[in-house]
């Protein structure tokens, strides 16, 4: 589990490509201090397992499912990535609960300065957008951000000065893609009250009758 508070920006050292997967090596400094084989590292929001490491880099395997669901298929050597170690039991939950399991990608459609902050808007799928709420949380390339606006086709966030300097997000341009993870609490609420699409032939969603019949 992660918090969406990025610890440092890493740099892609090498990419070993296979038919549907890759082996990825990443330069890092801060997070190397207490690294172990098997550690989970959020890399642009993706939970990846350390297989080897040395003094200034670590290696992970990226499986076909991850390649299909994320923007790592476009990753290149020397690209910068957001890095975060897994949350320790005695750590602070400074952002929100982030699993590192990406729900899909978004595309930057707007980017502009708003006083000291930078506003960015992203288009994405309806499946992701139905779990995005104004003032709610979403992880964008592993960064815990608060949604400022959302409509049927896109959502927007505001990036404060600190986040601008500590992450890769504002270096991206219109048309670039980002990894998105919905708030896990919203996923469970949807599961409980709405159910999954493939078993909802008679499911009408949450209605007043539904709430009353379930004790609300």
Lowest mean pLDDT among 44-58, 81-95, 142-156: 81-95
Percent of the chain residues topping a pLDDT of 70: 88
The residue among 132 and 94 whose pLDDT is bigger is 132
Q: What is the pLDDT of residue 213?
A: 64
Same domain? 69 vs 119: no
Question: What are 99-116's pLDDT values in tens digits?
Answer: 999 999 999 999 999 999
| 3-state secondary structure labels for all residues of the chain | CECCCCCEEEEEEEEEECCCCEEEEEECCHHHHHCCCCCEEEECCEEEEEEEECCCEEEEEECHHHHHHCHHHHCCCCCEEEEEECCCCCCCCCCCCECCCCCEEEEEEEEEEECCEEEEEEECCHHHHCCCCCCCEEEECCEEEEEEEECCCEEEEEECHHHHHHCCHHHCCCCCEEEEEECHHHHHHHHHHCCCHHHCCCCCCCCHHHHHHCCC
**Mean pLDDT of the 86-98 span:** 77
pTM of the model: 0.86
**Mean pLDDT of the 78-100 span:** 85
Same domain? 108 vs 81: no
Same domain? 131 vs 187: yes
Evaluate whether residue 128 is within a structural domain.
yes
Report the domain count for the chain: 2
Evaluate whether residue 130 is within a structural domain.
yes
Same domain? 74 vs 123: no
Domain of 47, in residue numbers: 8-85
Same domain? 116 vs 158: yes
Question: Above 80 in pLDDT, residue 200?
Answer: no
Evaluate whether residue 149 is within a structural domain.
yes
CATH code, domain with 64:
2.40.30.20
Q: What is the pLDDT of residue 124?
A: 98
Evaluate whether residue 208 is within a structural domain.
no
The residue among 201 and 99 whose pLDDT is bigger is 99
Same domain? 79 vs 115: no
Same domain? 19 vs 49: yes
Same domain? 111 vs 186: yes
Evaluate whether residue 69 is within a structural domain.
yes
Evaluate whether residue 96 is within a structural domain.
no
Evaluate whether residue 134 is within a structural domain.
yes
Evaluate whether residue 37 is within a structural domain.
yes
Question: What are 17-72's pLDDT values in tens digits?
Answer: 999 999 999 999 999 999 999 999 999 999 999 999 999 999 999 999 999 999 99
Q: What is the pLDDT of residue 79?
A: 97
Same domain? 120 vs 182: yes
Same domain? 126 vs 167: yes
């Amino acid at each position: 589990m992660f918090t969406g508070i990025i610890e440092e920006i890493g740099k892609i050292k090498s990419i070993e490509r296979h038919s549907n997967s890759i082996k990825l090596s990443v330069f890092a400094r801060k997070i190397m201090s207490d690294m172990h084989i098997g550690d989970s590292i959020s890399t642009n929001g993706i939970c990846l397992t350390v297989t080897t490491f040395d003094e200034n880099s670590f290696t992970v395997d990226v499986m076909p499912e991850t390649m299909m669901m994320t923007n790592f298929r476009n990753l290149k050597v020397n690209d910068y990535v957001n890095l975060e170690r897994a949350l320790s039991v005695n750590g602070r939950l400074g952002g929100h609960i982030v699993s590192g399991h990406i729900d899909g990608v978004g595309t930057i459609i707007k980017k502009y300065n708003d006083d000291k902050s930078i506003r960015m808007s992203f288009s994405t799928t309806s499946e992701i957008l139905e779990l995005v709420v104004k003032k709610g949380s979403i992880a964008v390339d592993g960064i815990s951000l608060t949604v400022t606006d959302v409509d049927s086709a896109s959502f927007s966030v505001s990036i404060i000065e600190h986040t601008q300097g500590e992450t890769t997000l504002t270096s991206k341009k219109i048309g670039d893609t980002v990894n998105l993870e919905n708030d896990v609490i919203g996923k469970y609420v949807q599961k409980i009250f709405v159910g999954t699409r493939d078993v909802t032939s008679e499911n009408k969603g949450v209605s007043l009758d539904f709430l009353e019949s379930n004790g609300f």
